[in-house]
Amino acid sequence: MLKLAAQIGWFVIVGCVAAATHWAVAVACVAIGGLVPLLANVAGWLVAFCVSFAGHYRLTFRHQHAPLARAARRFFTVSALGFAVNEAAYAALLRATSIRYDILLALILVGIAGLTFILGRYWAFRRTR
């Protein structure tokens, strides 16, 4: 039970750093780069993926000893799935609500986290096939 609690703790820490990175890159791309929010969201996700994978591989799921290349491929799949849900929800909610784009993105990023933990723990970073 302590191992799971520690794993969840690291997941939250790494996830918060990755989400903050995603959010900051996306907002900077809009504010400084002049990109539309949906395109800026792609840039944010790509940068945050690197932060997320490194942190989860080295900290959150380190005790599972998954091979690096396989874990990277699988976690990219998990992350891409989460991002597809993120982008679809973001696009729909940008049109359907008057919530500011930056607040809306933060809410969506938090909502995807649970799915990422479950798929990461039981598939992406699992040592055995």
Per-position DSSP letters for 84-129, written without gaps between them? HHHHHHHHHHHHH--S-HHHHHHHHHHHHHHHHHHHIIIIIT-S--
Residue 86 confidence (pLDDT): 84
Q: What is the pLDDT of residues 1-57, one digit of tens each?
A: 888 899 999 999 999 999 899 999 999 999 999 999 999 999 999 999 999 999 999
Residue 128 confidence (pLDDT): 74
Question: Which tokens in the block code for residue 87?
Answer: 């982008």
Query: Of residues 31 and 116, which shows the higher confidence score?
Result: 31
- The CA distance from 91 to 73, in Å, is 26
Q: How far apart are the first and last CA of the chain?
A: 24
Residue 114 confidence (pLDDT): 82
Tell me the mean pLDDT in the region 98-108.
91
Report CA-CA distances (Å) from 125 to 48, 54, 55, 85, 128: 18, 12, 12, 21, 9
Q: What is the pLDDT of residues 69-88, one digit of tens each?
A: 999 999 999 999 988 998 89
Residue 109 confidence (pLDDT): 81
